[in-house]
Structure 1
Amino acid sequence: MAGYATRVRADIARWREIGLIDPATAEALMRDVAANERASLSFGSILAMMAALLFGAAILIFVAANWEAFPRLLRVAALFAVILAGYVGGAVLKKRDHAVIGEALWIVAAAAFGGSIALVGQMYHLSGDEASALVTWCAGTALAAIALRSSPLTVAAVGIADAWLVLK
């Protein structure tokens, strides 16, 4: 769904094409729209982020509940597939002007990454504690937030860091 600024830009371009406004006025209006555009926090975006968190939790619960039924290679492949699909799908959707859903997919991918750390550690009997797993999860999420310039991923990384602080 296109935002207000996107719709106004399309209207300005249409008005210019049909001759309602001259090119100078169109350029001035475009500059004004760009200067006053803001990223708003809507109820829909909050709902999408909550849904992404719950969907990520559902994936992790499903995998954990059926962990023994899957062969090891399928387990690892499925975890990597969820992570890859979340990050790539989110980037594609964000590029197609569906920023909220794209960011929500990135949250799902980050949640799957955190679950993957724990589940792979359990599967291969890796030594370590919860605190080191949280640090790794936080670092991966922070790296994704920097690479993708994502505010929700930044908030998630800070939340994971807070969980590490509470654990320590």
Structure 2
Amino acid sequence: MNYWRPYKKILEVICREHDVTLLDLKSSSRLPEFVLARSEACWLAKSLTDMSLSNIGHGMGGRDHATVTNLINKAQAKVDKDPEYRLRLGELKSRLEVQIRGTGSGHQLVDGQPVLQPEECKDPLGIARRILGRNASKNPLTTNELELLARYLLAADDELRRTKGLATQMSGLLKQFGEMPAAKAG
């Protein structure tokens, strides 16, 4: 498996979630917000890829395997202790699983069965309408359809978050532009 593409996706999402840059993530800074973002990135990379600790560290600014282990343990301790954090990181992991599965070629397998990707769903709204208007005994949903809807929902949520982020940035730029003095006509 080419694990660098999924790893880059993990770093990208972590940077966006924590409002830090990739340079911040890879830096030697020990600011708590950078350490937290780093520990989550390492924890997610270990959970979602087949990367070795050394490779995770290499991609995280040249850190060694012991540092990566420490970062993973830090995130895991917080997951074990804080239910809200566990939920947030679990949701982030689920969103990333959807994105990572879409980065490779071919289908991923779950329990030996190929998993459809959201972009392969011809009519997710049709499936949703079937759910709302169905007679369960006559028209049962398949596990694959339920999983597909869940993936579609997570992908749509990620797209909505990205759009909201862009809207916030644009709003800030427009406010900033509106506060600039008008140029004098020459």
Q: Provide the TM-score with structure 2 as the length reference.
A: 0.25
Relative contact order: is structure 1 or structure 2 higher (C-alpha 8 Å, sep ≥ 6)? 1
Q: Provide the TM-score with structure 1 as the length reference.
A: 0.27
